[in-house]
Amino acid sequence: MSDSSSSIPFRANAATALRNSTLRAAMRNATETFTTKRADAVAAFPLEEWREQVSAMRLHVLDHLSDYVDRFERNAARSGAKVHRAKDSRAAREIIASILKDHSIGRVVKSKSMVSEEIHLNDYLQKEGITVVETDLGEYIIQIAGEGPSHIIVPAIHKDRRQVGKLFAEKLGCEYSDDPAILTGVAKKVLREEFLSAKAGISGANFAVADSGSIVIFTNEGNGRMCTTLPSLHIVILSIEKLIPSLADLPKFIRLLPRSATGQMITSYLSVITGSREPGESTGAQEMHIVLLDNGRSGIISGEYREMLKCIRCGACLNACPVYRMVGGHAYGSTYPGPMGIVLTALLEGMERAYNLLDATTLCGACGDVCPVKVPLPKLLRRLRASRVEQGLTSRTEQQAMAGFGKMMKSPMLFHLGQTAGHVLWPAIRGFGLDRTLGRMPRPVFKTFRERVS
């Protein structure tokens, strides 16, 4: 058993979340909406065929990832972008901070990026004296609330409009309202000024195109476009597995990603950005930097969890997950929540930190069913559970119980003895404080089925 202080206390976090009725109502409403819309959006769509194709394409990219990264780097450089490779979070943070410092920039606008969350970019830049303004509405809300995202595409999914109204009134000094249109107007006004005065913008990327050196961003609010075109400096942070071979591969994702994520046919904005502004061009940043983050991915590719890297971060598995729906994203205590988040946290942050998260699945299989790129999430979760046992990271009691179970399985006599013991000892169960676990099962019968048939 390892030092439990380093591990995420999922059960306690979940229990706290379950007592929060606002959170539960918000989660119920949002996930209900997304799952229904997704189901409608894929109903008249040759989903299975597309999933197969896209999955095969993602695997192909993973098989040749270093080639595609090289190709992307060459083509992005040719179009005027500077490409930086970062082997881990720290390297990525330092590269970004030094670019900003070189330009004497103290304030930067940012569009939504889960990779930036993964490397804890904002905290770092803040410590370096650089203010980051999140411009995605959800990200902006949680930034002023001092929280992290609780969903990979809907970061403020856990909040309802009344909470946002109170937050805005308190932090921005505006009049209280719970009208989403008014609240959006308030944020828009603040953010417009930020966009217009910003000297640098940071964005993530949904995909990066090897053949053209382009980065692709799907957004619904237009903030991504402003962050990447209005300031003279644009920094992109993306992880290496986001590569796709060519622009011809993009349409498949344009159709699958929004459908899986929010049930939209397409996102409101779709930006393909190739390099910095060239002479004669009227838009785009004058200087573009692309930071390619590895952070353990090269290692994951060669191992038994490689299929996790097919993930395109749509969030469908979160919405479909019964556990996530009940407790929300913060309970996972990690950058990435839900089924994909459990697997990624174990892979990126290590089993010592993630092992409790492996309890946070009923293995119901709903995540695997909705994944647009066929990441075999239930299989990966099972494999991680087996690995947790191999590493001795389950409780001593559980290990002993399972060892006993293993012996009973092989011996009908011991098995029957166990049944009898269960019957006899059952009334004592509550005395052991097990009423919420074993006590929720009925008492083992006196005369078992085997005795009745034989």
Binding site for another protein (CB under 8 A): 10-11, 14-15, 18, 322-323, 326-327, 358-366, 368-369, 382, 384-390, 394, 398, 402-403, 405-406, 408-412, 415, 419, 422, 436-438, 440-445, 447-450, 452-454
Distance CA 325, CA 34 (A): 11
Beta carbon nearer to another protein, 172 or 402: 402
**Residue 27 in contact with residue 157, Cβ under 8 Å?**
yes
Of residues 319, 316, 315, 381, the one with CA closest to residue 354: 381
CB of 163 to another protein, least distance (A): 21
Torsion of CA 81, 266, 52, 249, to 10 degrees: -30
Q: Which residue, 252, 322, 285, 331, is CA-closest to 109?
A: 285
In 3D space, the residue among 168, 122, 137, 114 whose CA is nearest the CA of residue 329 turns out to be 114
Is residue 21 within a helix (H) or strand (E), and if so which, with residue range? helix 21-43
Q: Rounded to whole angstroms, how far apart are CA atoms 372 and 375?
A: 8
What beta strand segments (E) does 156-206 contain? 200-203
Q: Tell me which DSSP letter residue 104 carries.
A: T
Cβ-based nearer residue to another protein, 130 or 318 = 318
| CA pair distance 27, 14, nearest whole angstrom | 13
Least distance in angstroms from the C-beta of 331 to another protein: 9
CA proximity to 335, closest of 159, 117, 143: 117
Cβ-based nearer residue to another protein, 4 or 411: 411
Beta-bridged to residue 371, according to DSSP, are none
List the structure tokens of 134. Answer: 């999140």
In the bound state with another protein, the residue whose beta carbon lies nearer, of 277 and 383, is 383
Compare residues 197 and 400 and give the one whose CB is closer to another protein.
Answer: 400
Tell me how far, at minimum, the Cβ of 59 lies from another protein, in Å: 20
Nearer to another protein, 109 or 384 (CB): 384
Least distance from another protein to the Cβ atom of residue 358, Å:
8
**Which value, in Å, is the radius of gyration of the alpha carbons in the chain?**
25
Task: Compute φ and ψ for 34, nearest 5 degrees.
Answer: -65, -40
Closest distance of CB 296 from another protein, Å: 22
Q: How far is the CB of 311 from another protein (least distance, A)?
A: 20
CA dihedral sign of residues 87, 89, 90, 94: positive
Question: Shortest approach of another protein to residue 354 CB, angstroms?
Answer: 13
Minimum Å gap between C-beta 39 and another protein is 11
Alpha-carbon span 212 to 246, nearest angstrom? 7
Q: How far apart are CA 357 and CA 325, in angstroms?
A: 15
At residue 274, the 3 state secondary structure works out as strand
Q: Least CB distance from residue 169 to another protein, whole Å?
A: 32
State which amino acid sits at residue 211: D
| Nearest CA-CA partner of 134 in 176, 190, 90, 174 | 190
Query: Could you give the dihedral angle defined by the CA atoms of residues 222, 227, 231 and 233, in that order, rounded to the nearest 10 degrees?
Result: -140
Closer to another protein by CB, 172 or 417: give it: 417
Q: Closer to another protein by CB, 126 or 411: give it.
A: 411
Shortest Cβ distance from residue 157 to another protein (Å)? Answer: 18
132: three-class secondary structure by DSSP = strand
Q: Which is nearer to another protein, 35 or 298 (by Cβ)?
A: 35
103/379 with CB nearer another protein:
379
Least Å from the CB of residue 399 to another protein: 8
180 or 431: CB nearest another protein? 431
CB of 312 to another protein, least distance (A): 22
Taking the least distance from each CB to another protein, the nearer of 172 and 441 is 441
Distance, CA of 205 to CA of 242 (rounded, Å)? 8
